[in-house]
Amino acid sequence: MTPCLICTHDAGPSRTACVRCEHRIRGWLGELPRQHVLLVASLELGTRPAQGFGGTGRAHSPLPVRGDVLTLLGPAAPGPVHDTLGDQGGPQPIHAVLHAWADQLAEDLGHLLPPINPRAPYADYLARHLGHAVRASWIAHMHTELADLIRRIRTVTSTEPRRRALDAPCPHCQAFALGHLDWDTHIDCEACGRLLTPDEYETHRAVVMPPLARIGVLMAAAQHLAQEAS
Ligand SMILES: [Zn+2]
Ligand SMILES: [Zn+2]
């Protein structure tokens, strides 16, 4: 068994991160462009009271925009960043974090970074090559930085994907742990990490649910009879 560098569960052959962790990272990369829109909308002050407003004796006027949001949306350094060793202190803009990891990935893959897509800076690129990242030695470090980024963004936008539990058990591990996270393309099992497309889930559900419902009815009837007899 090769332990996942992120969660220590079995990562699977020739991988450094397990399927479940890969799925979480892919979810974050898909969430970033959506959160970007909300971040831009919360840039102007007024979404919450400005700090120090009301006579703290400040000698200068506060910025007309939120500093924490500005930091997140801020531009990155123009050239290759190479901060994948984590030697830069302080909160990093979204672009800087993604650029650094995209740069690392491109170097590993031995090609040049593609031109930037301003709406989803490098998130698409990272998602496209995530299969390589989950076999790289630095995956846990990338996971930590993305987790921190997403946490900072969600704090500002007060928006995070909600999970809706589904009723059929997992076809792989039989746990009742299947669910769908907003914005996600797949249904996932929280217990074993198995992923299903919505179509696969519906097919599976159509097969397993009628017998399960029948068992449920029989159990309820047996319970009812037992209560009547006592
Ligand atoms: Zn893992
Ligand atoms: Zn499962």
Domain ranges within the chain, ordered by starting residue: 1-49+62-160, 163-230
Local confidence band at 46 (pLDDT 50, 70, 90 cut-offs): low
Pick the ligand that lies closest to the CA of residue 3: 1
Calculate how far, in angstroms, residue 32's C-alpha sits from the geometric centre of ligand 2: 27
Residue ranges with CB less than 5 Å from ion ligand 1: 4, 6-7, 18, 21
Res. 41: pLDDT tops 80: yes
Q: What is the pTM of this model?
A: 0.76
Compute the average pLDDT of residues 38-65.
Answer: 62
Ligand 1 centre to CA of 15 (Å) is 10
Instruction: Output the CA 14–ligand 2 centroid distance in Å.
Output: 22
- Residue 135 CA, chain-centre distance (Å), reads 18
In sequence order, which residues have a C-beta less than 8 Å from that of residue 28 and are 6 or more positions away?
Answer: 146, 147, 149, 150
Residues 6+ positions from 42 with CB-CB distance below 8 Å: 66, 69, 156, 157
Which ligand has the shortest distance to the CA of 177?
2
CB 97 within 8 A of CB 145: yes
- For the ranges 3-12, 55-64, 86-95, 182-191, the maximum mean pLDDT occurs at 3-12
The ligand with the least distance to the CA atom of 176 is 2
- The tens digit of pLDDT for each residue in 56-96 reads 444 555 667 888 888 898 875 554 445 555 555 678 899 89
Cα 43 to ligand 2 centre (Å): 40
Q: Residue 20 CA: which ligand is closest? A: 1
3-state secondary structure of 77: coil
Residue 21 backbone dihedrals phi, psi, to 5 degrees: -65, -40
* 2-23: average pLDDT: 93
Does the pLDDT value for residue 5 go beyond 50?
yes
Distance 128 CA to ligand 2 centre (A): 25
3-state SS class at 129: coil
Q: Measure 194 CA to ligand 2 centroid, in angstroms.
A: 5
Q: Which ligand places an atom closest to the C-alpha of 178?
A: 2
From ligand 2's centre to the CA of 188, what distance in Å? 8
pLDDT at 55 (0 to 100): 41
pLDDT of residue 189: 92
User: Would you place residue 151 in the very low, low, confident or very high pLDDT band (cuts 50, 70, 90)?
Assistant: very high
